[in-house]
Structure 1
Amino acid sequence: MELKVGDLVARYSYDCDIVFRITAIDQNKAELAGEELRLAADAPLEDLKKVDDEERRTHEKNAREKEECSYRLFRQEARLMKERNEHEATEGYKEKASYFEMRGRVLHLDGDPYYLAKCTALYERLGIPVYGVHIPEKEMPDQIASLLHMVRPDILVITGHDAFIPSRGAENDLKAYRHSKVFGQTVREARKVVPQLDQLIIFAGACQSYFEWLLKAGSNFASSPERVNIHALDPVYIAAKVSLTPFMDRIGVLQLIRHTLTGQEGLGGLETKGVLRKGLPWKEDHSFSNEIDE
């Protein structure tokens, strides 16, 4: 069986539990990236089973159904939040609210261009302003300051691929993680630009990331408390919830991760304020959106 970059595969040694994409092949070893999970791995070619067309269609169907369920739940909550905002803006009167919203702007750094495209599409579907940048994880600390000055975001997402590798050390050993160190360094560089937790909301991490290290570095939210894999779209739902929550409201952590695809085993953080702001008056020619996108 000939394998090439871009093929979908699973590992025999792990009972074919996760579907990966081959991102590179060097002699007899393949570099792998989770198709739906933000997990980086490598494996000898003889350990890989190529996913056939029928298996691929089944996998894609199941993934779409899972993602669509989370999207519908999030959109329902967003509409309830919008109705509450309208009620507050009109002080309970029945007249149509004449306000507009300035939703929090997201700067999303991603080490994987495939994931970045999926995340950007979901941000747009949710009506969240986003500036997405594909940067290899090891280059993120050097580029974050200039990007923050250029984009001036309310929310920063730092993600890509990661993995906890027990053969390199224990859970509290930073050397045991593939990219947690550079994620944390990127957070620290960002905090040199915007130190306050409520002025720049940061999510950092990927699959099996060193959760405690990322929070100590200055993140509001991070992965992964139980060192489990997280879904590629989980950072989007966290950023979108912050973007759509009024800045006077506090977001509880359990409330925040309720509609993610992974849940509290893979995601956690600190209670944080939202960043959405309302303004008056709203006019048809305003560039600000006053609707939750379908």
Structure 2
Amino acid sequence: MNIKVGDIVGRRSYDCDMLFRVVTVKEDNTVELYGEDYRLVADAPIDDIVVVNISEKKAKRSQTKEKEDTSYRLFRQDYHLLKQRSEYNATSGYGTKKLFFEIPGRVLHIDGDPIYLNKCLALYKKLGIPVQGIHMQESEMPFKVKELLEKVKPDILVITGHDAYSKNKGNKSELKAYRHSQFFADSVRKARQYQPQLDQLVIFAGACQSHFESLIRAGANFASSPGRINIHALDPVYIVAKISYTSFMERINVWDVLRNTLTGDEGLGGIETRGILRTGMPYKENNDE
């Protein structure tokens, strides 16, 4: 079978339920796969995979796109409510007509997948969230995260990429049974050495099937995956957006953060966290006078 890096494939043993991208073709006739829409990494025998044709790919992408559009629409509804609340507070209950400006939280997003990172950056831009995106392998993250934090000085840190649980390596409570959870947990600990306060640096960590409990214990505010299920590539962005656009005067109910994600509380969880947004006035439009 002529399988090459970059091919979009499915696994016969799973009825081609998910689209994967081939990232490595190994000499032992196995391939390493990255989920095309979900943050899952998998190995498969080369004779178990099949290249997905264009019509099948379009059909699966259409289903995923519909979910993405729904999440975006729900977030926009939340955003407008948050905007109205900010306007009410900034104008003393609409008692004045002063114009105000907003400073949303700044994001440092470190991702193990360059394609996912670009998708996330496009959504951050669409949502108006200031972000610095960095691609690196998950194994590098613990050694570089502190330096990046010192350089970027973000309000919110995202540490993500790919992960997977393997029952052949241990039970679900053992960190060694996960592909990259250890790297994510070590990265969170390094970040907490830089900023121990949970509300001064809000951290999201994890990917598909990640060891949720270890990431929270390490110091993450939000993490995946409580139910050890797959999470969508864009789920971290929706969590970040809710935090970034909630006032620093308010605490965020965890369910309010999770309900607009594509995965929900089986794939994502967290702890009560303060928002980041700050408002100010007066707002002055640019002019040359």
> TM class by shorter-chain length?
over 0.9
TM-score by length of 2: 0.97
* Contact preservation (8 Å) 2:98, 2:281: no
8 Å CA contact 1:21, 1:34 repeated in 2: yes
Contact map agreement 1:9 1:48 (CA 8 A) in 2: yes
Structure 1 gaps of 5+ residues are 287-294
Per the alignment, residue 9 of structure 2 pairs with 9
SS state at 2:260 partner: coil
Compute the TM-score of the two structures, normalised by the length of structure 1: 0.95
1:49 counterpart letter in structure 2: V
Q: Distance in 2 between matches of 1:155 and 1:4?
A: 37
- Whether 1:258 and 2:245 are equivalent positions in the alignment is no
Q: 1:96 deviation in Å?
A: 3.8
SS class of match (2:56): helix
Who is 2:202 aligned against?
201
* Regions of 4+ moved over 4 Å: none
Q: Which amino acid aligns with 1:159?
A: T
Corresponding residue of 2:21 = 21
Q: Deviations over 1:92-116 (max 9, x none)?
A: 2365441111100000000000000
Per the alignment, residue 187 of structure 1 pairs with 188
Distance across 2 between alignment mates of 1:184 and 1:209? 10
Pairing 1:38-187 to 2, within 5 Å after superposition: 38-93=39-94, 95-187=96-188
Q: Distance in 2 between matches of 1:265 and 1:285?
A: 46
RMSD over equivalenced CA pairs, Å: 1.1
- Report how many residues are paired: 286
Q: Is the 8 A contact 1:86 1:97 kept in 2?
A: no
The sequence identity of aligned pairs, in percent, is 58
- Asked whether the 8 Å contact 2:188–2:218 carries over to 1, the reply is yes
Supply the distance in 2 between the matched residues of 1:49 and 1:224 (Cα, whole angstroms). Answer: 28
Give the CA deviation at 1:74.
0.3
1:222-237 equivalence runs, <5 A = 222-237=223-238
Structure 2 residues not aligned, in runs of 5+ = none
> For residue 291 of structure 1, what is the aligned residue in structure 2?
none
Give the AA of the match of 2:121. Answer: T
| CA distance in structure 2 between the aligned counterparts of 1:14 and 1:146, rounded to whole angstroms | 41
Deviations, residues 184-229 of structure 1 (Å, cap 9, x unaligned): 0000000000010010000000000000000000000100001000
